[in-house]
Chains A and B, each alone.
Chain A
Amino acid sequence: MQLDEPVLLPRLCRVAVCGGTHGNELSGVYLVREMLKTETRREDGESASVLMVLSNPRAMQQCRRYVDTDLNRCFTHATLNGPVSDGTPYEIMRSRELNAMLGPKGSRAAVDLVCDLHNTTANMGLCFIAYSDSDWICLHIFRYLQKQMPDTPMRFIHFDVSNKESYSLYSIGKHGFAMEIGPQPHGCVKSDIYTAMKEGVQHMLDWAGYFNSGCLFEGGLVDVFTMVKNVDYPRDGETRNIMATIHPRLQDRDFCLLHPGDPLFQTFSGETLTYNGNEPLYPFFINECAYYEKGIALSLARKKCVTIPSIRAQTEEEEEQASEQSFASEEEE
């Protein structure tokens, strides 16, 4: 393959925008509600069919993250296909409904792209979170948003989880990512955060339209933050209560490089605990409220520069040819 030959990818015929996967992350709740009220049509290019989904209505009604269990951990193949009974938690039943609506995960019928909207109490700006560092669709959308919204701090976070183990709602689609924006307290909507999310989603849908109409998107470089590990709070051995807060010099400094020896926590008696890892890493999800119960005070990532190729949507003929070829190779098997 020549370096300047674009990668050809199937069009994005069906795109899903999901809000309220966590019922108290309100920017996505209000944005999807608003989008359900107003239809958006595009003049140029072929519009994708856009599905607007409120993922966890019961949790939204109570303004809580979840009712029985975290919906955004219910999308592993095992959970989606395991046995159910009367006692099955609400969110697991809901994950199956969503899988039927937008999936099934892993099948040809799944939607082409899922964008799942989230908020965080951490000072992360706008982040894409994805399971792959080589999904060119997601990376190109990210790059497009960076260009369209230059004043918004934006990062691409990669969780290196296999398709088999992937657990989030956005893993249902053939392509998918979470759009995570903070800082916003849960249960609140801040206008600047809402506006950033609204613009981000609009630009994403614009991009899908241009892509589907055959535009060529030039390749380039994208910084990707790959999650390495989580760090928990120091806890009391018996009660498991936390014994320190995020250090004031680390609080709100998501994506500022943390070096060995830098302050990490401050105990209630004022002592500083330092980061003792053996390499500098990038912290994120610093002091995310929902992660206290998951044993996460912050996450740490390595940064690398990914080269993304030029891409273009397959024409209908190209799509047919590709489909015939894969059918033929399936027959051989």
Chain B
Amino acid sequence: MSSGGNNNTKAAARVDAARRVAIFGGTHGNEMSGVTLVNLWVQNGAEIQRKGVEIKPFIANPKAVEKCVRYVDTDLNRAFTQENLSATGDDELPYEVQRAQEINRMFGPKGSAGAYDVIFDLHNTTSNMGCTLILESSKDAFNLQMMNYIKKAFAPASCLVLLNEHPLLKYSTSRSVAKHPVGLEVGPQPQGVLRSNIFEAMRVILKHALDFIELFNEGMEFPACTVEVFWVLERMDYPRDANGNIIAMVHPNLQDCDWEPLNPGDPMFQTFDGKSIHYQGSSTVYPTFINEAAYYEKQQAFVTTRRETLVASAVRKA
């Protein structure tokens, strides 16, 4: 067993160059920043060109985009389960399951050597999350290095990293088809609305992400670094009555306070007749996705996270 020693003496992990990259907009048809950006780039992709890599802008759920709804039959961003991807039935399958199979053919197959290297999936949220990058693995050094690069390039503006590796809460996203899935979530923005500041922020973050890929592909070595992440702990539902109806709202003290500490005893919900309900957990957590409109039906008022610092090994193109 090695004595630990200086990280500089360790060789960089070799990772294949990212030659095929996709940018998904409209995985949810009413999240307008991604829809608008992808439509723009499909018409004129000059802004997203980079040397040595093919970058494909793509509308993931065109029927939902056309109707300006989150989904038509079922949430596309939960549809990429192995069961769905191998289901038979063609036209009888829900629209989004058919679409997931098509996306898996075009950009996957998920888990195979032939899958796309990177998929950026563009999302908006009604929560006050600011700019958030979402990862699905704590061990993907390439992705962690990308996060580090983007955060530094975007500074002093803030860009936080959310990690959902929870065995039960993790879900089968459209981007999970790729080897390195990256979610971009920018809010607050109402569904169906396009706000210029949100649109511009997403555009800039993506620019930095593509710059990273270009530099990486050219052979630049990225030294070992640390990345602060918010690690998903649990989902908190709204208080409900015996019939399943919501009986309280996110408390005014918690509303818009994504990423701020929620301590045991802090107010969490407010009933419709004005009573406070307090957080009963045993330690401080960092809530996010607070009051996301699309999550009412998914029984989620917010998720709790813990702050963790991950170490990313040095990486270099193989």
Contact = CB atoms under 8 A, between A and B. Distances in A.
Most chain B CB within a 10 A radius of its CB, from A30, A247, A293: A30
A187 B191 contact: yes
Interface string A293-330: 10000000000000000000000000000000000000
B197 A186 contact: no
Given A63-B296, A186-B191, A268-B36, A191 B197 contact: no
A266 B199 CA distance: 11
Contacts of A186: 190-192, 293
A189 interface: yes
Nearest to B269: A191
Given A186-B293, A192-B252, A241-B39, A34 B197 contact: no
Given A121-B190, A287-B195, A191 B293 contact: no
B196 interface: yes
B137 interface: no
Contacts of A198: 272
Interface in B263-306: 270, 272-274, 291-294, 296-297
Interface in A250-267: 251, 266
B69 to A, nearest CB: 8
Contacts of A245: 194-196, 199
B138 interface: no
A181 to B, nearest CB: 14
Interface in B160-219: 188-197, 199
A285 to B, nearest CB: 12
Contacts of A33: 245
Interface string B231-258: 0000000000000011001111001000
Interface string A222-257: 000000000000000000011001111001000000
Nearest to B126: A185
Contacts of A121: 190, 192-193
A191 B249 contact: yes
Given A245-B194, A245-B196, A289-B192, A191 B251 contact: yes
Contact of B197 (A189, A194, A251, A292): A251
A185 B293 contact: yes
B15 interface: no
Contacts of A241: 39
Given A121-B193, A287-B193, A289-B193, A189 B249 contact: yes
Contacts of B196: 245-248, 251, 266
A248 B274 CA distance: 35
A100 interface: no
**Chief secondary structure at chain A's binding surface:** loop
A42 interface: no
A292 B65 CA distance: 14
A185 B188 contact: yes
A190 interface: yes
B106 interface: no
A247 B194 CA distance: 11
A34 B274 CA distance: 12
Interface in A154-201: 183, 185-192, 194-195, 198
B129 to A, nearest CB: 13
B68 to A, nearest CB: 8
B198 to A, nearest CB: 9
Nearest to B197: A248
B40 interface: yes
B193 A34 contact: no
Contacts of A191: 249-252, 255, 270
A246 B193 CA distance: 10
A293 to B, nearest CB: 8
A251 B197 CA distance: 9
Of A64, A188, A242, A246, the most chain B CB neighbours within 10 A belong to A188
A187 B297 CA distance: 10
Nearest to B297: A63
A38 B270 CA distance: 17
B121 to A, nearest CB: 20
A185 B191 contact: yes
A251 B189 CA distance: 12
Contacts of B195: 245-246, 251, 287
Interface in A2-58: 30-31, 33-34, 38
Interface of B: 36, 39-40, 68-69, 126, 188-197, 199, 245-246, 249-252, 255, 270, 272-274, 291-294, 296-297
Given A268-B36, A290-B192, 5 more contacts: A185-B188, A185-B190, A186-B192, A245-B195, A287-B195
9 contacts: A30-B272, A63-B296, A121-B192, A187-B296, A189-B249, A190-B250, A268-B36, A287-B193, A293-B68
Pairs A-B, 5 closest by C-beta atoms: A185-B190, A187-B293, A289-B192, A245-B196, A185-B126
